[in-house]
Structures are given as C-alpha cells and as structure tokens.
Amino acid sequence: MHLATTLRNALTGIAAALALAVSAPLSAVEEQGQLPLDELRTFAEVFNQIRQGYVEEIDDSTLLEYAIQGMLMGLDPHSTYLTEDAFQSLQDVTSGEFTGLGLEVGMEDGYVTIISPIDGSPAAEAGLRSGDVILKLGNVQVKGLTLNEAIEIMRGPKGSKIELSIGRPGESQPFEVTLIRNTIKVASVRESWLEPGYGYIRVAQFQSSTGADVRKALEKLMSQETLKGLVLDLRNNPGGILRASVDVAGLFLNGGNVVYTEGRVANSDLYYDADAVDATDGAPIVVLINQGSASASEIVAGALQDHSRAVIMGTQSFGKGSVQTVLPLSDSRAIKLTTALYFTPNGRSIQAEGIVPDIEVERATVTAYNSPRRITEADLSGHLDNVNGTSKKAKREISPLLANDNQLYEALALLKGLNILGLRDRKSVQEAPGES
C-alpha cells in the first residue's frame, strides 16, 4: 500500500497545483514544490479550452479521466487506467473464468495486438495467433481506441457474435473471422503421459493456484509410474501472477534464485528464491516456449535455463520483462502501472528480448515421404530370415504426435535421448573395474 499512498499524494499535489495554476500567479504555484509549473499551467489552459470550446459538452470528471488515460498510454503498452468494469475484468481473468473471446492482448503502435489466445477459447478455435493485429472490431476501427475501450467491445454476453478484421505478419491482405463469445474457463494446468515414463504438463496461464496445481499434477503422474522425463508446455501462455511462476519454477530446482525485480521505488527491489527440494528428483525436463509465451512463463523458462535444469525448446518468447502493480485510486478506480523490471538469476533482462531457446524448433506440418519404390532386404526373393524371428517389413506410417505437434514430438525425442545417455552412463559406472 506504500506505493498506492505515494500515488494518491502525488495526484493530490498535482490537483492542488492545477487549481492554483488556473487562478493564481506563477509565484503562488512555485510554493507548491518541484512540479513542472509551466507545463501544469499549459495543461490547465488546454483543459479549460476543451471544457469551454469543444463542440460537445464534456463534464470535468470525464475530461480528467481522459487525461489520466493519456498519461498512462504514453508510458508503455502495459500501464493503463482501470475503470470499475476493467478492474473487475482483470480480477476475473486471474481467477480463471470470464465471458469473452479468450484473447490476451496488448497495445502496439496504436493497434491491439494478440499476445496469446487462451486454450479452448473461441479465439484459439478460430486459429488466431500470437502476433496477429486486430484492425477492426465489428464496424469500429481499432486505431485510435484505448486498450480498455477495445477490450470492452470484445467483451459481451455469452452467445453474441462479433466480427474481427485481422492483419497477420507475412500476409499481404487482412482477413475476417467471426467469433461467438463464450464463458472462458481457463484450466490452468493439465497433465498426461506422452509414452510410458514420459510425462506432459501444460500450463495455460499463471493463476493464484497454479503452483499447487502443478505440484498435484506431478504427484499424480509420479504415483502411477517412474518419471523418466517431463515436457513442461508453456507455449501461448500469456503469464499472470508473478508469485505463481516462482512456485512453479521452484518445483524443479534445488534452491537458488528464480527471479529478481528492480524498480525506482524501494519496495520494488525483491528477490524470489526456490525451495531446496526438486519435486521431480532430477528427472530430465524440456520446456516448450513460443512467441506467445510471455511474462510469468518467461520467468520459469529463464530460471530453469540459467540453472541448467531444463532444455528450452521452440521459438523465441514474447519478451515482456516488466512487472505491473494495480494501484487503487478509490473503491471503483485503479491504475495498472509498470513499477519494475524483472531479471533472470544470471541477470538477464527479458524486456523486448525474450527467452532464446536452446534448441530452436519452428511449428510445422510434417508429412511422411513415401518413395514410389522402397525396397528392403525383406523384399528380396530368397532373403535370409532374421535369426531372432520372422522378418518384418518396416512400416511407413507417420507418428500421430509428429503429424499433430512436431515441437512436442521433438521434445519427447530429446527426452528419450537424454534418458538413454543417462542409462548408459550409469551402466558404465557400474561395470567399471574397481580399484585395489
């Protein structure tokens, strides 16, 4: 609350200075402190000109809200003014259920840009991708709207339709897609076996319970059979609560720093460390990331990469390395303000850079190459049978996992390779002659 109190005091001081700037000489304003007095007088004059001369009458409260929105929009894409509805929407998203299209969005060059579609949402099912730019919402041009205004248009009652005009990098013409709003229930964590011994955990978003949910998923998998390797899927994960990312990364580390933050305010310099217990008992891990992996998901990937605990695979992440604090102004209004930058354990800033994977694997469609004539020894007349049994022709069917998700297939293949090398290393140690 210290930062919120400081903000309220600053706003009160500015308001007092503005009042003096309108009605008092400059010498009287100078007594109020070190505020930029000439600029405050200019602001007061512009405010007065708008309220008197604009073609439509605007009440002072609305005009001041516009001014606040303008200040925050000029800072960075993630600092924003929260009306009562926007504040409630933010709480709904972090709690895991809301009604809308299922998009995590940000503002870039005056346009709303998709950071990530949410798993199972109307946006994801329609094929929208990270990096797509929303040009129009229905008949409304997005250029010129604030981020909150665009989000308000996207939200609506369940079952209602909205048409989006989308610009996609690399494509010359925009395209339209019609989405039906639905209740978005974000299943933060889900788990499964890819093959016996090789587990899979998908984290779609970092909510308050995500750390505990990942622990439960691990316990469930490890209660069924021995864990030879794990894929942690953070693709298209837009982030969420920072503390949750620390909890998740800590499950795979034997202590040490996960992330630290630095800002101008004293209490924004914080270190977050992991507990000294690796819940997987050292099993090999591959973390999958892509352009839609942002913020908290980048914290996890960066920490595991810096501690050499996991192989990071996929494509370069989004690059959101800043921390936002929600600062209440009243019971119904707040601002979301960027207050710090976060750094990986080795001191890397992810801001506008992202996490570079150890092994880059682009998402691709893979099909089997079938030669018109593929002859093997088993096809030759009079071939000798295999001494261990009947000869079998090699199958040419492509793996369903490779066909549907080549990045996940490559992650599983790498885990198998690491497991084979680990078994060989242990075997060679066991068979090594003892010293006398």
Would you call 61 a catalytic residue per the annotation?
no
Catalytic residue among 130, 320, 322, 336: 320
Compute the distance between CA of residue 108 and CA of residue 152 in angstroms, rounded to an integer.
18
C-alpha span between 280 and 304 (Å, rounded): 13
Asked about 306 being catalytic, the answer comes back as: yes
Q: Residues 293, 306, 322, 336: which is the catalytic one?
A: 306
What separation in angstroms does the CA of 186 have from each of 106, 202, 256?
A: 19, 12, 30
Tokens encoding 297: 């998901």
Per the listing, tokens 């499950």 go with: 251
Cite the beta strand spans of 11-102 per DSSP E: 80-82, 97-100
Can you tell me the distance from the alpha carbon of 383 to that of 377, in angstroms, rounded to the nearest whole number? Answer: 7
Contact 408, 233 (CB under 8 A): yes
Query: Contact 378/392 with Cβ under 8 angstroms?
Result: yes
The two structure tokens encoding residue 292: 């839609």
Integer CA distances (angstroms), 59 to 86, 154, 332, in order: 21, 27, 19
266 residue type, one letter: A
Residue 390: alpha-carbon gap to chain centroid: 52
* Catalytic-labelled residue, pool 295, 297, 317, 322: 295
DSSP string, 357-371: PSEE-----------
Between CA 6 and CA 9 the distance in angstroms is 5
Query: Is 209 marked active-site?
Result: no
**CA-to-CA distance for 270 and 156, rounded, in angstroms?**
38
Q: Which residues are catalytic?
A: 295, 306, 320
